[in-house]
Every structure is written in structure tokens, then in C-alpha cells.
Amino acid sequence: MGYDYLSPEHMKTNERITIVGAGLVGCLLACYLGKRGYKVTVYEKRADRRKASSGAGRSINLACSDRGWQALDHVGLGDAVRKEAIAMRGRMLHSKQSELSFQPYGIGDEAIYSVSRGGLNSTLMEHAEKDFGVEFVFDMKCMDVDLENAKANFKHYGSKEIITVESDVILATDGAFSRVRGIMQHLNHFDYSQDYIDSDYKELNIPAAADGSHVLDKEALHIWPRGRYMMIALPNPDGSFTCTLFMPYEGEDSFEQLNSTEEVHRFFKEVFPDAYPLMPTLEEDWNANPQASLVIIRCHPWHYKGKVCLLGDASHAIVPFYGQGMNSGFEDVYVLDGMIDAYNGDWSKILPAFAKQRKPDADAIADLALYNYRVMADSVNDPGFLLRKKLEHRIMELYPEKYKSLYSMVTFSHIRYSEAQRRGHAQDQRFKAIIKEHDIEGHFADGTIDDFIHKNLNTLITT
Amino acid sequence: MGYDYLSPEHMKTNERITIVGAGLVGCLLACYLGKRGYKVTVYEKRADRRKASSGAGRSINLACSDRGWQALDHVGLGDAVRKEAIAMRGRMLHSKQSELSFQPYGIGDEAIYSVSRGGLNSTLMEHAEKDFGVEFVFDMKCMDVDLENAKANFKHYGSKEIITVESDVILATDGAFSRVRGIMQHLNHFDYSQDYIDSDYKELNIPAAADGSHVLDKEALHIWPRGRYMMIALPNPDGSFTCTLFMPYEGEDSFEQLNSTEEVHRFFKEVFPDAYPLMPTLEEDWNANPQASLVIIRCHPWHYKGKVCLLGDASHAIVPFYGQGMNSGFEDVYVLDGMIDAYNGDWSKILPAFAKQRKPDADAIADLALYNYRVMADSVNDPGFLLRKKLEHRIMELYPEKYKSLYSMVTFSHIRYSEAQRRGHAQDQRFKAIIKEHDIEGHFADGTIDDFIHKNLNTLITT
């Protein structure tokens, strides 16, 4: 690795960049900018995660898909991450009667990959520091930012000392509750919204078998869809699965009602009958892990006069139901990097151009992710939805160059999210019309699906 | 006045209420609560307005309509305010060719009333202090609030001393940029949005004639509608008019383009040819008065555990185009007062019930006010819109008990905003259908309008 990827024409060793927040997006961004020769310092409010225990309450594994891989590969880190990733080739649905059904995500080798958040974060940090000359300063909480002059104050948790950092550009990757955005919120004409969805989540665990093997199919993302709530499970390399229960925080079928360990046991036994016996630490996990909330953040504009810019969750936190939170943040970094070339290192042009291009895509994936909660929790049980999935899957097998479902565009392509949303909407209209016109009753007799596709090909694949 | 309106059963002299912000809504709220016998203290960050000059940049006069009057009358203050109010019976439209046309707002005596913001604020403050035993503390900036315990810290502007105020309930009427809401924004599950509209505004002036009379019809709200921008003027008792120019802050026809005094003169002369000669202080006003922005604030929930609640702009700042900003804030106070009776002084029930009832109404008037910008700036010139207005006005004259236009429901009734919005939407559908069906071309021949109404009465007045 090392500096062999440097483009000397972009070497600006005199430019100092401050990154606020050493999460996934901040660390990847640090790699990109360090590689270009900028003098990059990352300030992180937590302790060095490589020395401390991993942060509780954050999702422990994540699904990395094509946008994430593209961004990692572009800076030469894809292979390092792939070593620890587990391919998930489709959804494995678990019914209340413990029946299993498998829906492939894509065609051929297409898969999404379960990666450990903590492991990935440490890997990125390590490479940023060792390969790309990035400096990390931990235990530093951002207190205030002088947006006009790209000066930031940080307070050290231990000494309580406040330092002022001057730089040419501040890039804020400090997450959904971004302090930098909190300061920008007071700017005139700054639009901002935070919307909590009705559901919270809690992480639980399915341990490995005694021999270290996975007790459920490890090549799938497991879903127990139950309408108003659902549980999912992603495989870990150590043979365990990390489960996440998503459910309303109040009202019918809610966390509020699961207010005793007896209730929790009764509930899991009843609604997740095949998972319950696999969760020996349910009670401990339930009590130890926080009930966390899910917020959608939108704001505009993301940048301030070529001096400060928000990226990742800081500018567009989304719900996790499309598996695109990290992927969209990584794609931000990839897009920003393209803008550095396009505008020859002139931040006064790079930041507005980046924000302008990326904002509609962030809005689109925010909407799609929210919509996918209903798909995952509910529609995956719907015969009409399953028919559509089956039809789309077969079209993609037959004509991989001519058709991509919305899911595939989001997950297995680099088509802009806003464009994927637009095409997906048009596909919806066409499929609805054709299914209605042909009065298809929920399934195809053997062999008839290909005939149907061939007959209606032009209508089905128009983009 | 004095204490003769007190309901002794609600005398809770042991309960202390802190009101944050001595604006219009805070002062009216103080009157209501003082009258009930609560020990009310209002903390205001500005100096005592009765001793200082009035705040620059805030709208200098406002339109008070039925909801405002109801809230003022209920606490016995309506007549004191009416003395200084000027009735505006309709819109006077000024075309680019200096043609005038008048659209009555309502029927019979119905009017909205131009009142001075500063004068009204001082009147309410005076009555709160003298008649209702309210204490005011000025120059006190709210720094922090302990929501759990209804404790607030205030910092005195002069001495910099910070005091902690303990009370039973904190009611925050600290406006669109509410500090109390800023603290609540960090609560889990607190939804919040701030949306700036594309237009800013600037206040200007049309002075009185030499003999002190008004140089335009004083019984009207004057509008110079120009599509993307507009100017309005409201009469003052001293013979002057306060004008407000609303226009985009950037792009075509924007403040950005009016970047020299020459440009300003050229622009006003061209687009407001009848107003320009009446504005001798245009240049001074332009340079002296700030270009202010317009923000829509939404949040949820408005209250915290029976201890803290937001009212007025702090919970639902809206754009001024329906003249309902103050009126909706005053109605908040009226509705809250009703809840105090309904829940017998139990704040743990009053605040949630108030917020639950009032939130949909606040959302409705926020939407309606935004929609009315287009109506005022644009539709008032549209023949279809004018036909509809004419038809509605005549229906209301003929059947005042059976029909109220959306404007009349909002302005001249106490029908809940959310209900007015619902009915208005249904009316729209019916009018569109009937106008299309009868292929009406933009006007009625003399005498035919009553015939038309009689023939279509049942369709037109269904609610």
C-alpha cells in the first residue's frame, strides 16, 4: 500500500484538513484525503477504539454492498475488509410456524456482506494512520466551530483543556447527532429536520454451536417478519449471529409492553418459536443492551462557504432497513473525491458541487430505507410482493444487461439513488399494470414464467 | 378589571409558573394564569420594552382576527386593544399598471384589524403586571432548563450573574428560535424541523400626508402582487402605512439583485409605480431595516412530563401570509386555559391534552399559511381564482349560516384549523367540478350569479 497511489498534481501539503469524528465515514475519508497528501487530523470524542472495548448500543454488524466496496476498493482497502466479511446471498424468512423460505438478493454471485462495525472501523483507522499519514486525536469533544474561519474548539475529556484547531477545511463526520451540524443549525436559511420513527431497536445474540459453527444458514440475512415488528440476524465470523429486534416503542406490540423478563420470554417463545431456543442469553442480552431509537436527519445546505462540510450521518442519517447507511456514507467519500479532481482541489467549488450532487441522492435513499421497513416487516409475506420478486428475479437471470430491480439498483449498482428511485417508481407502475392486465393470481405454473416474460418483454424492461 | 374574574376553585397560590419570553403570547398567557391566581413570573431576555425603543426587524403591525379577539376578550383585554386597531375590510390590489381592485375579506362588518405589535405587547404587559399580579424580570437570557424538575437557569445581561429558578411548570413562549425547544431537541424521540422559505422580507414605510391622513385607503390591506414577490401595506393610526416587501433572497427577482440604491429605486419605480412616489424614505428604510428570513418550525411532542410546554412560535412558527401567527398563538392560550378547567389544574394531564389537541391545528395553519403566499403573490391576479372568490362571497352574503369560505373559517370563525383545512379541501374539489361542468368562462353576466347559486345550491354548500 503506502503512498504509491498519490496523484502528485493534487499534493497540497500546505492544506490542513480537520475531520470531526473517527467513525466509519470519517476514517475512510481520512484515508482518501491522506492519500492525496493533505495534512489530515481526525478528532474523535471517544477513546481509541483499538485500545478500548467496542461501543455498546451501536449496530454490531453491517451489510456492505457494491457502493461500499467501490469506495473501499478505490483507496485500496477492499481486500483487507473482504477477509472478514461473510456473504449473504438472500433473505431467509422465518414464519411464525417456523417455516423457512429463501429470497435471493441478486443473481449469480451477487451478495451483500456482513461485516463487523468495530472491526471495520479499526481496520480503516489503522490504514489511515499507517498508510496515509493521518493523525488521530482521541477523547476530544468538539465544542464550537468558527465556520467563517474553519477554526474548531475541542475539549479533552481527561484534562478538560480546550484547544483551538485552525485548518483550511473542516469535514464533519460526527454522526446523526453532529455537533458541527448543531452549530450550522443556527445559520440563517439552514433547513433541518430530525424525525424519529415509531420503532426502536435492541440487539440480541444467537451464539455459535459448541463446534463454532453457525446454527442457522450463514449465507443469509435472517428475517422474522411480523407486520408491526420484526427481528433480523446477521452472521459473524465466530459462528454467532447478531440479532436486532425492531418494534414500536409504545402502543400495541411494543417495547413498552415487554416490561418484565417473564414477558420477554413469553413473547419470544410465542412469536419467534424457532429462534427462541437458539437464544440462551436472551434475558442477559435484553437487560444489558440499550433500547435505541432510529432517527432520520435531513438538512440543507451541507456546506458553509468552502470551509466546512457535513458528510455521512451528519448530513443524512437514515433508517437501517435498506442496509445503506454505511454504504451511502462511503459513497459520499467517493463522490467528494471525484469532486476534488473535477475542481482541482479548490474547496470553494468542491464542497458546493458535492452537496448539490449528493443531496437528492441522500433524500432518495432516506425515503427508500423508510419504505423498506414496511417491505421487510410486512410485504415479504405478501403473495403479490413475492410474485413480483420472483418475476423480477427471473427477468434479471434471463436479461441481466437489460433489467435491474430497484433492490438491485440500490444494492448492486452505482446508479445514483435518486435515479434508482425514479426508475423503481416507473417499474412499479408497469408491473402493477401488467399483473392486473393478465390477472395473475399469485403464481405461475411450471415453465410458464419464461413464456410470460418473453411475451411481455418490451413492456417489462422499458426504462 | 382587577381580580374580579378569578375562579376561586382554581386558585392555586402555591403553584409557581415560569414563563420564558415576554412576547405577545407570553404576556397574554401571563394574564390568563395570573387571573387564575397562579404565581407567575415572566423572564425576558430583552430590556423592558416599555422603557426601551421597539425591536427592529420584527413586523411592526399585525392583523388581529377573530381567534385573536376571542382570546383577548376572554381575559377582558379586547376593548383596550380595539381602541388602537384599524379595521381592514378587504384586500386592495395594486396592479403594475396602477389599477386598483378591492376584494372584501368577509361579509357585513367582518374585518381584520391592523394593530401595532409593540403597542399590543406593552398593553398586555401592563395589564399582566397591574391587573393580574404577574412579575416580569427583564434582561434575563434562558441558558439551560432541567426539564425533569422544571428548573431553569437565566443569565442577566448586565451583571452576567446566573440565577436558578425553580417552579412547578415552565411554559416556553420564547419564539421561533426558542432556547427551551433547543434543549428539548436533544430528547430521544423529539421530532423537529426548521424550514426556511425561499423568500425574505424587509419593512418599509409610506408616511402620512402633511395633514396626518392616510394616503391610501386605510380600510384595506394593500397588496402589490407580482408573482414571485409582492409588497403589502398595513395602516397605522398615525396616518402612515407599514409596507413589507417579500421576495426570494437569491436568483431571479431577488434581494440579491437589489444590491445598490440605484437598483432599488429603479426596481420600485418600475414594479410598484403607484407606491414609489409615496415612499420618500425608501432609500433610508432600505438601508436601515434588516432583510429578515421566514422560517416554519414544527416539533413534537410540545410538552415534557407535565413540567414543561412550548406555546406559540416556539412550537409552531408559521409564515405570515394568512395573518395567523399571533392569532394562532393567542388561540393556544385560550385552548390551554380550557384544558386547565377540563383537568382541574392537573398539569400532568393539561399539557399532554393541550398538545394533542393543538398539534394538528398548528400543522394545518402552517400549511395554509404557506399556501396563501402563492394566493397573495399570484392567484389574486388569476381570473379563475377571482371568479371563485366572487362566487363564494355571494354565497356567503345569501346564506351566511350555510357557507363559509376557507378564508372565512380561518379568519372569522373559531372552527379548528385542521377542520377548516379539511372542509376547504372539500370545497375546492366541488368548486373545481362545478366550474368545469358549467364551463364558466371567468365571469357572470349581470344578475346571473344568483341564479347560478340557486340552481347549484345543494352541491355548493354541502360540507
DSSP A41-55: EEE-SS--TTTSPPP
pLDDT tens for B7-39 read 545 555 689 999 999 999 999 999 999 999 999
Tell me the pTM.
0.92
HEC readout, A297-329: EEEECCEECCCEEECCHHHHCCCHHHCCHHHHH
Q: What DSSP element (H or E) covers B460?
A: helix B457-461
pLDDT band of residue A60 (cuts 50, 70, 90) is: confident
pLDDT band of residue A56 (cuts 50, 70, 90) is: very low
**Could you report the predicted ipTM of this complex, rounded to two decimals?**
0.91
pLDDT band of residue A374 (cuts 50, 70, 90) is: confident
> In this structure, what DSSP letter does residue A84 have?
T
Q: Do residues A227 and A247 touch, judged by C-beta distance below 8 A?
A: no
Contacts of A166 (CB under 8 A, 6+ apart): A16, A149, A150, A151
**Rounded CA gap, B176 and B173, in Å?**
9
Q: Please, which residues bridge with residue A204 across strands? A: A243
Using a CB–CB cutoff of 8 Å, tell me whether B399 touches chain A.
Answer: no
Q: What DSSP element (H or E) covers B241?
A: strand B241-248
For B295, the closest chain A residue by CA position comes to A189
**Rounded CA gap, B73 and A435, in Å?**
62
pLDDT tens for B47-68 read 998 886 654 445 589 999 999 9
**Rounded CA gap, B248 and B259, in Å?**
14
Window 175-194 of A, Cβ < 8 Å to B = 185, 188-194
Convert A64-99 to b/e letters by CB count within 10 Å (16 or more is b).
Answer: bbbbbbbbbebbbbbeebeeebbebbbbbbbeeeee
The tally of CA atoms less than 13 A away on the side-chain side of residue A366 is: 23
Rounded CA Rg of chain A? 23
Per-chain mean pLDDT for chain A: 92
Nearest to A192 among B188, B194, B249 (CB): B194
pLDDT band of residue B4 (cuts 50, 70, 90) is: very low
pLDDT band of residue B463 (cuts 50, 70, 90) is: low
Q: CB–CB of A194 and B195 under 8 A?
A: no
What residues of B are in contact with residue A185 (Cβ under 8 Å)?
A: 194
Convert B97-109 to b/e letters by CB count within 10 Å (16 or more is b).
Answer: eeeeeebbbbbee
Q: CB–CB of B192 and A190 under 8 A?
A: no
Using a CB–CB cutoff of 8 Å, tell me whether A249 touches chain B.
Answer: yes
> In this structure, what DSSP letter does residue B253 have?
T
Using a CB–CB cutoff of 8 Å, tell me whether A371 touches chain B.
Answer: no
Percentage, residues of chain B above pLDDT 70: 94
Q: Do residues B154 and B166 touch, judged by C-beta distance below 8 A?
A: no
Grid cell digits, residue A161: 483543556
Mean pLDDT for A65-76 is 98
Peptide bond into B225 cis (omega under 30): no
Q: How many CB pairs under 8 A join A and B?
A: 34
Grid cell digits, residue A318: 437514515
Can you give the pLDDT at residue A1?
36
- Most A CBs within 10 Å: which of B177, B193, B197, B198, as the mutation test of the A interface? B193
Mean pLDDT for A38-48 is 96
Q: Please, which residues bridge with residue A172 across strands? A: A20, A310
- Most B CBs within 10 Å: which of A193, A202, A300, as the mutation test of the B interface? A193
Can you give the pLDDT at residue A447?
76
DSSP codes, A94-128? E-TT--EEEEESSSTT--EEEEEHHHHHHHHHHHH
A49-63, B250-264, B301-315, range with the lowest pLDDT: A49-63
Can you give the pLDDT at residue A49?
86
- Most B CBs within 10 Å: which of A181, A183, A187, A195, as the mutation test of the B interface? A195
- Encoded amino acid at A279, one letter: M
Q: Please, which residues bridge with residue B246 across strands? A: B201, B230
Contacts of B393 (CB under 8 A, 6+ apart): B104, B107, B405
**Rounded CA gap, B305 and B21, in Å?**
21
pLDDT tens for B325-371 read 999 999 999 999 999 999 999 999 999 999 999 999 999 999 999 99
**Rounded CA gap, B309 and B144, in Å?**
15
Dihedral over Cα of A303, A307, A311, A317: its sign? negative
The domains located in chain B, with CATH, are 8-84+114-194+294-372 (3.50.50.60), 196-293 (no CATH), 382-461 (no CATH)
**Rounded CA gap, A180 and A173, in Å?**
9
Using a CB–CB cutoff of 8 Å, tell me whether A195 touches chain B.
Answer: yes
Phi, psi of A221 (to 5 degrees): -95, 115
**B351: nearest Cα among B313, B315, B297, B298:** B315
DSSP codes, A184-252? HTTSTT-EEEEEEEEEEEEEEEEPPPTTS--SS-TTEEEEEE-SS-EEEEEE-TTS-EEEEEEEESSST
Helix axes A383-398, A448-455, angle to 10 degrees: 70
Q: CB–CB of B196 and A185 under 8 A?
A: no
pLDDT band of residue A276 (cuts 50, 70, 90) is: very high
Using a CB–CB cutoff of 8 Å, tell me whether A260 touches chain B.
Answer: no
The Cα-based distances of A215 to A209, A235, A251, B21, B302 in angstroms read 6, 10, 33, 61, 47
Q: Which tops the pLDDT comparison, B189 or B55?
A: B189
> Locate cell 381564482: which residue?
B385
Can you give the pLDDT at residue A389?
86
Give Cα A116 distance to the centre of its chain.
12
**Rounded CA gap, A23 and B441, in Å?**
63
**Rounded CA gap, B223 and A315, in Å?**
39
**Residue A213, Cβ neighbours under 10 Å: how many?**
9
- Encoded amino acid at B118, one letter: G
> Locate cell 428548573: which residue?
B151
Q: Is residue A260 classed as helix, strand or coil in its secondary structure?
A: coil
Per-chain mean pLDDT for chain B: 92
**Rounded CA gap, B59 and B320, in Å?**
10
**Residue A379, Cβ neighbours under 10 Å: how many?**
16
Nearest to A195 among B185, B191, B194 (CB): B191
Whether residue A6 has pLDDT greater than 70: no
pLDDT tens for A86-138 read 999 999 999 999 999 999 999 999 999 999 999 999 999 999 999 999 999 99
CA distance between the termini of chain B: 41
Grid cell digits, residue B150: 422544571
Whether residue A463 has pLDDT greater than 80: no
